[in-house]
Structures are given as C-alpha cells and as structure tokens.
Amino acid sequence: MEKHQGKSVFAGVAIGKISFYIKDKAEVVKREADDQQLEIELFKNAKKQAKEQLGQLYEKALSEVGMDNARIFQAHSMILNDEEYDTFIIDAIKEQNVHAEFAVSMAGEHFAKIFSSMEDDYFKERAADIKDVSGRVQRILGGRKETSKTSEPAIIVAEDLTPSETIQMDKSKVLAFVTMLGSANSHTAILSKTMNIPALVGVEIKKEWDGKVAIVDGITGDFYIEPDENTLEYFRRKKQEETKKRELYNELKGKENITLSGKQIELCANIGNVADLEAVVENDAGGIGLFRSEFLYLGKNDYPTEEEQFEAYKKAAETMAGKPVIIRTLDIGADKQIDYFQMEKEDNPAMGYRAIRICLKEKDIFKTQLRAILRAGAYGNVSIMYPMIISDLEIKEIKELVETVKGELLKEKIPFGNVAQGIMIETPAAAIISDLLAKEVDFFSIGTNDLTQYTLAIDRQNNKLDSFYDAHHESILRLIKMVVNNGHKAGIKVGICGELAADLSLTETFLKMGVDELSVSPAFILPIRKVIREIL
C-alpha cells in the first residue's frame, strides 16, 4: 500500500480504480512560415472552428452543470475575440516569421504567465483558461482531437485538467479528481464542488497507478494506492459517515446561524465572478460579503465600460433577491498587474501603488465603477467596500466623490440605489485607528490575509517564509478584537472576509469576540453553520 499527501479542495471519500488521464501533448516545433498571409488565414480559420466547438461545449455544460458553470466557455470565446490576444499572434507570425501553431503557443504562454504570477489563487487559476483556449486552437491547426478516457466509474488522475477536459467527461463515471497541479479555485475544484465529489490537488502522480484500486480521502488530503483490506473497510465506513454528514448539511439549508445559547452571526459568500452566484444560492449563503470586481478588468486589453460593470453587479443584486451584496472596488496592483493600466515597476508592490490608491489617483476609472455600482443598487441590497484604507482623509475624499457621482446620475435621470459604504481593515494602521475610521463608514470587513502579511512583516509569496507565517498569531487576534470593539462602539457591523473566516478552529473565538459576519467560499457555508449551531 502506498500513501500520498495532497491538498483537499472538496471533502468526501471515494473508493475505486484509477483512470489516468493522458493528454495529447504534441510538441510544437518552431519553424519559419513559408507564407505569412497563409499562416494568418490558417489561424483565423482555426479560431472560427474553436468558437464553434466552444458553442457546443457551452450547450453541453448548460444541461449538465448549469448556467453559471457553463459561462466559462463563453469566457473562452471572449478570449478568442480579445484584440490583444489576436494581435499578439498575428504580430508573431509577421515579425518573427513563425508558423501559426507556434505563434498561438507563444500567445498562450505569454498571457498565462501574466495570470500565473498573481498572488490571488482565483486569478492565478485563470491561466488555465488561456492555456485551454490556446491548446484548442493548436489542436485544430495540428489536426489533432481531444480525447477522454472514462469507460467505467473511476478516480480520475491527471497532471492537471482544463475546463474542456472536465466537461467532456461522463460525470456518472467520475468518482473523484486527483491532480498534481491546481488549487481550490481551479476548474477541477469548481466542478468537483458542483458534482459533490472529492478532489485533491498537489499530489505527485505516477502513470503506473493506472487501473489500480485507490482511496481518496478528501477530508485529510490522503491518497492511498492499493490499500489493504483493513484500510478499505475503514474507509467504507467513513464513506457511509460522510454520506450521512452531507445529508445533514443539506438539512441545515434554511436554518439560522445560531448557537445553542442564542447568539447569531451572518454567513455570507466570497465570489470572484458572476459565475459563482449559483454556488452562493446552492449553499444557502446569507448574501455576498465580498464580490471581487477585479475579474471585470483582468484578461482584457482595455478598461471595462460602465455598462459591462453595471450588468455584472445588477446580475448579482437580482440573483441575491434582497440579500446583501458587498462589492469591493477595484483592487489591483501588487500581484494583480494589468498591462493597459501602464503602472511602473515597483521594488515592493505589496506596499506600493495599489487598490484605493490607484482609484484616488485615477478618478475617471474610479467614477465609472462607482456609477455602475450605484446604478446596480437600484436592483437590490448593494453596498460598496473600499480596500486598503489607512486614513479617515481617504474616506472623506471617497465620500465626496460618491456624492459627485450621485449628483451626475440625478442630472442624467438615471436611477440608483442608496448604497451603504464600508471599508476593509487590512493593515495594522487601519486596525489601530479603527475607532476614528468607524465614524466615517457604515461597516468594516477585516481582510485577514493582508492584515496577517503586514502585521507579521511576511511576504505571502515568499515560500521560504512559510514556517514563520502564523495566521493564529496573538497579534492578529488582538487586532481583530480591537476592530470589533471599535466598530461596535460606533454602532457599525464588523465582518471577516479573509481566509481565517473559514477556519473552523476559530469560529467559536470569533463568536466570543462579537464578530457580526463571516464571509467565506460558498462550499464552507453549511459546515460553518453546523459548527455554529453546536456551540454553547
């Protein structure tokens, strides 16, 4: 028996044979183009065929995993329509005199690298979308076809899986996913949550496992190859227990987040795209505590229009049907770099020109987003949240700008909502003066990821410092308590939307502190509700 460790992205137990997913990875060799114009035409024709294939995949996904999960293939079509992506390929053919398939390969690597360099896992995983789209066009140019190998129910093991590969599998034949690459935001993880099946990432895989019996423990992250009879029997019982637990979670839908002694707390969801709305509803979240608006700006070659933003925010507001939707304004810079913003390279970008600092310098960009959010407020319970605030002067400047925007909308007779305004507490500075900041806003949301980074002076992107990074450090907990106390003294709500919000070992601590809201990934809503309802 072999035992390997991975990272669980969806809990549960699966027992079955391994089916190793083999990709068609033909090496693209660089060679000169005999006829540049012909290569450009070949690329355009391949792009057209790719769009037709994506249309078919969209229809398949729509019927099998729902509208919001199917939208990924619409997003892939948008990549093919992206002017910057198109121009890169055509310029490579013309200027470097390479054939079309190699030019597409270059484009895939170039744009995937941009997303892969970002710290945020959600956006980092969008690199897979670029590679998926580019791979599709390359296969068409090379005359190759996609393959799928799932003839009987099996544990699918692969280096990584793209959206196209996952959606083309027969879902009734998939017991679990195990991949070497990917994260909690990969499409493998997203699909596993939709299908309610276990998934592990970060496992060092071996091709010789193909066909062997295995066990996936999506709770601990353990992966057993050719388990002995005692281990099999143990996990058969554990699987039965997990089935009962899942049924119990479903019974918690519609129930209150209330302790045995009667203390209540709100449970909301973090999302990074309108495609996540289905999971928010499915997991019975009390609203959206963090809507990352960056997805509207990333992967584009120009600023999103007011209408594009308005439609996305309106969709969230209408889907939530009166439940709160907190939209965080643009948070780029640091790990999230966007070419068309033309920002200068910084030695320490995490402490540099980012988030609200960009918005207050580039007021036209900021005003466009504020207009879109305010307009969406007419369709639901929408609030605005500003990131990386460190002073009350920033808040006052923002509020003046919001009033200006409201005045413009009134003049133009465009309806808008009366939205609440809050800030993220992400730095020690903001936490320490939270008594002053609380007088200027309607709510606080504590971003524990950055708060921990800045308080401990540890760069989260530096793997050498992992052993020093302690999210439970007493200084972090004291700052959180300080912010909660100061917020309540001023009569405003205080929530947590960072990774610590989903840490079940701290749920009771946060309740005792008086935290009003926890905002987490949709899949964590019901497990946290269960813990809350068992606390005295």
Residues with active-site annotation: 187, 497
Q: Please give the structure tokens belonging to residue 177.
A: 């996913």
Q: Please give the structure tokens belonging to residue 276.
A: 């996540």
Is residue 483 within 8 A of residue 441, CB to CB? The reply is no
Nearest Cα residue to 291 out of 524, 519, 10, 523: 519
Q: How far apart, in Å, do the first and last CA atoms of the chain sit?
A: 42
Q: Please give the structure tokens belonging to residue 410.
A: 């009134």
The span from the CA of 528 to the CA of 501, in Å, is: 9
Which phi-psi region, left, alpha or beta, contains residue 202 (left: φ > 0; alpha: ψ -120 to 50)? Answer: left
DSSP 183-241: -TTSHHHHHHHHHT--EEES----GGGTT-EEEEETTTTEEEES--HHHHHHHHHHHHH
Which phi-psi region, left, alpha or beta, contains residue 459 (left: φ > 0; alpha: ψ -120 to 50)? Answer: beta
DSSP 87-139: HHHHHHHHHH-B-HHHHHHHHHHHHHHHHHT-SSHHHHTTHHHHHHHHHHHHH
Residue 56 neighbours by CB distance under 10 Å:
10
Which phi-psi region, left, alpha or beta, contains residue 322 (left: φ > 0; alpha: ψ -120 to 50)? Answer: left
- What angle (nearest 5°) sits at the alpha carbon of residue 281, between those of residues 331 and 471? 45
Is residue 234 within 8 A of residue 13, CB to CB? The reply is no
Is residue 171 within 8 A of residue 194, CB to CB? The reply is no
Total length of the chain: 536
Nearest Cα residue to 482 out of 430, 417, 529, 534: 430
The span from the CA of 130 to the CA of 345, in Å, is: 24
The span from the CA of 16 to the CA of 151, in Å, is: 13
Q: Please give the structure tokens belonging to residue 108.
A: 């895939």
The span from the CA of 536 to the CA of 533, in Å, is: 8
The span from the CA of 252 to the CA of 255, in Å, is: 5
Sorted by sequence, the CB contacts under 8 Å of residue 509 that are 6+ apart come out as 477
Which phi-psi region, left, alpha or beta, contains residue 182 (left: φ > 0; alpha: ψ -120 to 50)? Answer: left
Helix (H), strand (E) counts: the chain: 20, 16
The span from the CA of 356 to the CA of 351, in Å, is: 12
